[in-house]
Chains A and B, each alone.
Chain A
Amino acid sequence: AQSVSQHNHHVILSEAASLELGCNYSYGGTVNLFWYVQYPGQHLQLLLKYFSGDPLVKGIKGFEAEFIKSKFSFNLRKPSVQWSDTAEYFCAVNPYSSASKIIFGSGTRLSIRP
């Protein structure tokens, strides 16, 4: 079945630790990829996106993600997390065959210890 998988449900890190959140998708063909963040009590915000070109994309707040087509992955990274990064992180896919249909992964809750 076509899906978006985030294997880490809850990640707990100390401030200044490095972060990597996994995302895999099972859609064939061309896809557009996104990472959204939902801070407590706030709306979903776009962190970064990949449509084409350089597979290493940089987003806001020091986040970056790498698209590896052969692995159907789009992992999110940040070299040094801050307490303010505490939030829910969602990987999302828009399959080209279904334009305007953004499908979300199950989300990863990130807790940062001050």
Chain B
Amino acid sequence: DTEVTQTPKHLVMGMTNKKSLKCEQHMGHRAMYWYKQKAKKPPELMFVYSYEKLSINESVPSRFSPECPNSSLLNLHLHALQPEDSALYLCASSQPDGNTEAFFGQGTRLTVV
């Protein structure tokens, strides 16, 4: 199984809502990532978890809160988002030593209204 599964595929939320994005992988990878991709732009790294600990936070606003409950799951909790946060949110996983490629999920298309 070389899949990274993200749910939901689409999400529309208001600026006062609280929602969560979920990501799951069963490849035994111990690094998991959140990326944000705006239209016609490259993915931008947000967070990296390595061995279930947050290792990189690319100065992401606190309205985005990641969580890694176990080695297979990664969540992104959303609260009080802005319309400019609308984007495709991608989850990825890899081994944490840098010597493997990352596998990407299909993403959650988020629209903030």
Interface of A toward B, CB cutoff 8 Å = 32, 34, 36, 42-46, 49, 51, 90, 94, 96, 98-107, 109
Interface of B toward A, CB cutoff 8 Å = 31, 33, 40-45, 48, 50, 55-56, 90, 92, 94, 96-99, 101-107
Least distance between A102 CB and chain B CB atoms (Å): 5
Bound state CA distance, A17 and B50, in angstroms? 43
In contact, A104 and B98 (Cβ under 8 angstroms): no
Chain A residue at minimum C-beta to C-beta distance from B3: A43
Q: Given A100-B48, A101-B48, are A49 and B43 neighbors across the interface (CB < 8 Å)?
A: no
In contact, A102 and B106 (Cβ under 8 angstroms): no
Q: Given A100-B48, A100-B50, A100-B55, are A34 and B101 neighbors across the interface (CB < 8 Å)?
A: yes
A49 partner residues in chain B, CB cutoff 8 A: 101
Bound state CA distance, A32 and B56, in angstroms? 18
Q: Given A43-B106, A100-B31, A101-B48, are A106 and B99 neighbors across the interface (CB < 8 Å)?
A: no
B55 partner residues in chain A, CB cutoff 8 A: 100
In contact, B42 and A43 (Cβ under 8 angstroms): no
In contact, A46 and B101 (Cβ under 8 angstroms): yes
A109 partner residues in chain B, CB cutoff 8 A: 40
Given contacts A46-B103, A100-B31, A109-B40, 9 further A-B pairs with CB under 8 A are: A43-B90, A45-B104, A49-B101, A90-B43, A99-B98, A101-B45, A102-B94, A102-B102, A106-B42
In contact, A102 and B45 (Cβ under 8 angstroms): yes
Chain A residue at minimum C-beta to C-beta distance from B94: A100
Per a CB cutoff under 8 Å, which of B44, B98, B104 touches A100? Answer: B98
In contact, A101 and B56 (Cβ under 8 angstroms): yes
